[in-house]
Amino acid sequence: MEDLIKAIHTTPIIDNHAHPLLIPSALNRHPLLAITTEAHGDAMRATTSSLAHIRAVKQLSGILGCPPTWEDVVKAIDIESAKPHHEWQKRCFEGIETVLIDDGLDGKDEVYDYTWHDKLTRSECKKIVRIEKVAEEIIDTLYKNPELSPDDIFSGMREAFEMVIKDAIEDPDIVGFKSVICYRTGLDIPPHLSIQEVREAFIDQITTLQEDGVSYFKRLDGQPLNAYLVNKTAHIIANSTGPKKPLQFHTGLGDNDITLTKSSPSHLQAFIRKYPTVPIILLHASYPWTKEAGYLASVYENVYADIGEVFPFVSKEGQENVVREILELCPTEKICWSTDGHWFPETYLLAIIQVREAFEMVLTDYVQTGALTVPQAIRAVEDVFFNTSNNLYDLRLELKPLESTTTLPTRALEAPKNDVQILTNFVAENPTVKFLRLQYVDYTATSRLRIIPVRQALLMLQKDPELKVSAVQALLGLTQNDVIIPGVTASGEYKLHWVPSSLKPGPYRGYASVQGEFRNTDGSEVSLCPRSTLRRVLSQAASKNLTFKMGFEIEVVFMNRAEDGTLSTLYNTAGHAYGAARALHGNVILDMLEEIYDTLSTAGIYLEQWHPESCSGQYEFILPPHSPLDAVDTLIQAREIITTVAANYSVRATLFPKPFPMMAGTASHVHLSISSPGGDEDEIWKPFYAGILKHMGPVIAFTYSNPASYDRMVDSAWAGGRWVCWGTQNKEAPLRRIGGSHFEMKTLDGLANPYFAVSAIIAGGLLGIEGKEELTIGDVQKDPGMLTEEERMELGVSEMLPKDLEAALKALVEDEKMVSVLGKELVERYIAVKRAEMHMQGGMTPEERKTWLVERY
C-alpha cells in the first residue's frame, strides 16, 4: 500500500486541458472567487457557502500559513504573487510534467502566451487550438473589409479555416483541437449538412450584424455554422497522415451559457461513429454525465474520457464519486486528467492536491477490498496521470517520478510517514479539535476510553514513534460495573495503541476519536484484544484470497429523559410507525436528526439512508460499506455520535434489544458480501454461507451476547426468527440473501461487541470454505416459523438457534473448529465474562435489568 500511495503522490501529471494565466496587470479585472465555481456575476456571491469553496479555503490557508478565512487567503495570495521569479506560480504548478493549453478564451491580451508556461513545468507546454475561436477571428478580419459581401466572407472563411487547421496539423507545438459547440448549440451535432444550408445561416447572421451597426464579429451562433466547423475539422483530421491529433469536446459542467440537457456526451454518438479514426476526448468528466462518458470511452476505440474540472469545482465526496463512476466501466488506458486551470495559478494547485487525495481514497479502498492489486492500482495512476495523454497526444515523454515535493504540504503530495505527521496533519485540517478520545470496546461491548489533550498527544509522539498509553490487563476482564471477573487480577500491563486509520472528528465539538488495540509491552499482539482478533481472522481470509465488503444498519430507540433522570417513551410518537412521515413531525426531533447527520458527515461518515422504524422513537441509520475493520470502526464512531448528539437534547439513544415488549425489537443488522474476484460465484459464496449456518450456534454466542438479546428471538417479527436457515429477500430468516454473495445477518444486536461478532461470522464462513461445505439448506421463501414439518424436511431446516445465552455458550465450547480459529484463550475469557454478567444480572427483576441495560447501551 505504501508503494501505491507513493505512486499517487510522485507520478507527474500531464495536464491535457487548461488555459493560460493572467498577466499581473489583469489580475484585478477578474474575481478570484472563480477558482471554485462556474458561476458569474451576481450568482457568484453565494459561492462562499459551497463545499468546494470551503475546502479550498482550508487547503490554501494551510499552504499559505494564514488563518482559514477567505479574506486572509486573498491577502496571502497577493503577497505571494508579488514575489519575484514567479515563485508562487511555480509552487502552484508543482507535480505537472506539461500543460496542453487552450488559449481560446476571450481576452488574449490579458494572458500569457502558452509558451511562457514552460518555466513552470518540467517539459515544454503545447497548444490546443480552439476551432470556434479560429473561425471567429477569420470572420472578424474579413468582416472589417467593407468591400466584401456576406457571401464573400463565407467563402473566405471556409478557405482560410481549412488552411489554418491543416497548418495546425503540421505544427509540432500544436497537439490537438478543441470545440465548444456544447456552449453554442449543444452536442447533438447533425451528421450531414448541405453547404447551402450553412451558407444561408451564415449570411443571415452577418446581415443582422450589419443592420445593427456592429463594428466587429464576436461569436459564431447557430447549429449549421458550428456543426460545419466541427465536421470540417474532424474530416481534415481523419484524412491527415501520421498520428491523428485529438479533437476535444467541452461536455457537461460549464457556466450558465450551456443548455445542460444538451451537454451530455451521449449526444455525440452519431458524430463518433461518423469519424472512427479521429481521437475524441470528452472533457470535464462530462459532469454530471460521468457514466455516459465512461460508457462511450469503453465501447468506442477512438473515444477517451477526461476527468478534469471537477477538481476543485465539486466537493471532496463528489470528486471521489467521479473517480469511482469512471472506473466502473472505463479502462484506465482510456482515461486522462486535466486541471482546466485558468487565469489563477491557484486553480492548478487545488486541482493537483485534490485529485491525488481522491485517488488515494478510492484506490486504497479498491486494494483493501480486493478489486485491484497494488500493481494494478499503480498502473491506473500512471495511466490517468501520464500514460494515456502521453500516447494520445504523441508527446513522447518519459515517465520520471517527481524528485522533490518540498514546497507543498506533506499531505498534499505524499502520505504521512509516521504517527506524528498523521496527527499534525489531522489537527491542521481540524483546528478546533483539542482532545483525543482513545477508545476500545471490551468483552461486555462497553465502549471505554482515555481522553488525551491533543497537545499532550503530540508531545508523546515526539518521544515515541507510536501513540500509546498504559492499560492494566484486567481491562479485558471487567463487567459493566468495573467488577473484575474470577481468575483475573489487577496486575500486569498492556499498552493501548491508537489505530491512526480510524481517526475521525467527533462525537462532540473539540473532540476526535480513534480506536485502540491492546499490545504487550514488547509490541507483540495481545490474543485477547477484540480488534486484533478481527484483524487476525481477516488475515486468515486474505491468505485464502478472500476479502469482504461490510455495512451496518444502526437501529436505535430514542427515549425522553426527565429532570430526575427517569426515561420514558419519546414524546410526540403516539403515531410512530415504520417509514411514517408523521415520525418526522416536530422541530426538536428534526433538529436532533439533522445534527446527527451533520456530525456524522463532519466525521466522514456519510449515511446512505435513514428512516423511522417500527418501535416508538425508533430510527434506522444505514452506514456505507467498507472493509470489515473500517466498517466496525465506523459503526462504533457512528453510535457514539448518535448517543452524544441525542444527550444534548435530553434524549437517551439506546440499542437495548427489546425496549417495549409489544413492539419491534432493535438490532444491528450487518450486510456482508465477498468482494474478492469470483466472490459471487456459487463455488465461493455457497460454502462460505453454508459454514456460517453450520456454525450458527457459536456465532450467536457473539452476536446475541446478553440474556436480554434473546427477548427479540421470536418468529414472525422481522427479527431473524428462531430457525437456522437462509432465504432470498426473506426478512424472517437469520440470513437474508440480497443477491450474489450479498447477505444480511439479522441476528445481531447492539449489545454485542462488533469486533467479536464479525470475527465469528467470518470465521464460520472460512470454516465452510475450508471444509467445502455444501449449502444443504434450501432457499426458504416464507416465514420459517410458519413452515410445516413436511416443508422443513424438504428444505433441510431442522436446527433451531440457541434459545438463550447459556445454550449459545455451550455450543461455542463444543465447536472445536470455531474455538481454534478465534483462539482458545479468547473464547475462555469471553465465556468467563459472559457468565459473570449473567450472574450479576440474575439478581435483577426484568424491569431493573432493562433500566440498567438501557442506561449502558
pLDDT band of 456, cuts 50, 70, 90: very high
pLDDT band of 212, cuts 50, 70, 90: low
CA distance 531 to 526: 10
Residue spans of alpha helices (H) in 279-436: 290-299, 310-313, 316-329, 345-369, 374-382, 388-392, 410-413, 419-429
Specify the domain boundaries for CATH 3.30.590.10 within the chain.
536-808
pLDDT at 468: 93
pLDDT at 413: 33
Asked if the model's pLDDT at residue 5 lies above 50, the reply is yes
pLDDT at 145: 85
pLDDT band of 300, cuts 50, 70, 90: very high
Q: Calculate mean pLDDT across residues 547-572.
A: 87
Joined together, the cell numbers standing for residue 160 give 482560410
pLDDT at 467: 92
Question: Could you please report the per-residue DSSP string of 117-168?
Answer: GGGGSSS--EEEEEHHHHHHHHHHHHHT-TT--HHHHHHHHHHHHHHHHHHH
CA distance 233 to 275: 11
CATH number 3.20.20.140 is the correct assignment for the domain at 2-410? yes
pLDDT at 579: 82
Strand 247-249 with 174-179, pairing: parallel
pTM for the complete prediction? 0.57
Average pLDDT, the chain: 90
Asked if the model's pLDDT at residue 458 lies above 60, the reply is yes
Q: Looking at the domain that runs over 419-525, which CATH code has it been given?
A: 3.10.20.70
Asked if the model's pLDDT at residue 211 lies above 70, the reply is no
Specify the domain boundaries for CATH 3.20.20.140 within the chain.
2-410
The share of the chain scoring above pLDDT 90, in percent, equals: 62
CB atoms within 10 A of CB 602: 15
H-helix or E-strand containing 107?
Answer: none
- Residue-wise pLDDT for 9-18, tens only, equals 999 999 999 9
pLDDT at 608: 87
CA distance 251 to 281: 9
H-helix or E-strand containing 550?
Answer: strand 548-561
Q: Which of 354, 802, 447, 852 is nearest to 642 (CA)?
A: 447
H-helix or E-strand containing 690?
Answer: helix 682-694
- Between 496 and 215, name the one with better pLDDT: 496
Joined together, the cell numbers standing for residue 641 give 455520535
CA distance 436 to 456: 10
Burial of 535 by CB count in 10 Å (0-12 exposed, 13-18 middle, 19+ buried)?
middle
- Contact present, 766 and 783 (Cβ < 8 Å): no
- Contact present, 435 and 511 (Cβ < 8 Å): yes
pLDDT at 674: 93
Chain-centre distance for alpha carbon 331: 20
pLDDT at 209: 67
- Between 800 and 257, name the one with better pLDDT: 800
pLDDT at 210: 61
Angle at CA of residue 518, ends 516 and 524, nearest 5°: 125
- Between 170 and 25, name the one with better pLDDT: 170
Asked if the model's pLDDT at residue 810 lies above 50, the reply is yes
pLDDT band of 213, cuts 50, 70, 90: low
Identify which of 171-180, 222-231, 419-428, 705-714 has the greatest average pLDDT.
Answer: 171-180
- Residue-wise pLDDT for 304-348, tens only, equals 999 999 999 999 999 999 999 999 999 999 999 999 998 999 999
Looking at the chain, the number of H-run helices and the number of E-run strands are 30, 23
pLDDT at 560: 86
- Residue-wise pLDDT for 504-545, tens only, equals 999 999 999 999 999 999 889 999 999 999 999 998 998 888
**3 state DSSP class of 428:** helix
- Contact present, 694 and 775 (Cβ < 8 Å): no
pLDDT band of 414, cuts 50, 70, 90: very low
pLDDT at 555: 94
- Residue-wise pLDDT for 220-251, tens only, equals 777 788 999 999 999 999 999 989 999 999 99
**3 state DSSP class of 742:** strand
- Between 571 and 703, name the one with better pLDDT: 703
Instruction: Please state the φ and ψ torsions of residue 796, each to the nearest 5 degrees.
Output: 80, 20
Residue 726, C-beta contacts closer than 8 angstroms, at least 6 positions apart: 689, 693, 733, 734, 735, 736, 737, 743, 777, 779, 780
pLDDT at 723: 93
Least confident interval from 125-134, 345-354, 610-619? 610-619
pLDDT at 216: 63
Fold of 536-808: Creatine Kinase; Chain A, domain 2 (3.30.590)
Residues 445-481 as b or e (16 or more Cβ within 10 Å = b): bbbbbeebebeebbebbeeeeebbeebbbbbbbbbbe
Q: Calculate mean pLDDT across residues 15-22.
A: 93
Strand 567-569 with 609-612, pairing: unpaired
Long-range CB pairs of 138-147, under 8 A, 24+ apart, other chains included: 138/164, 139/217, 139/220, 140/216, 140/217, 140/218, 143/206, 143/209, 143/216, 143/217, 144/215, 144/216
- Residue-wise pLDDT for 55-90, tens only, equals 999 999 888 888 888 888 888 888 888 777 788 899
pLDDT at 628: 93
Q: To 10 degrees, the CA torsion angle through 710, 714, 720, 722?
A: 80
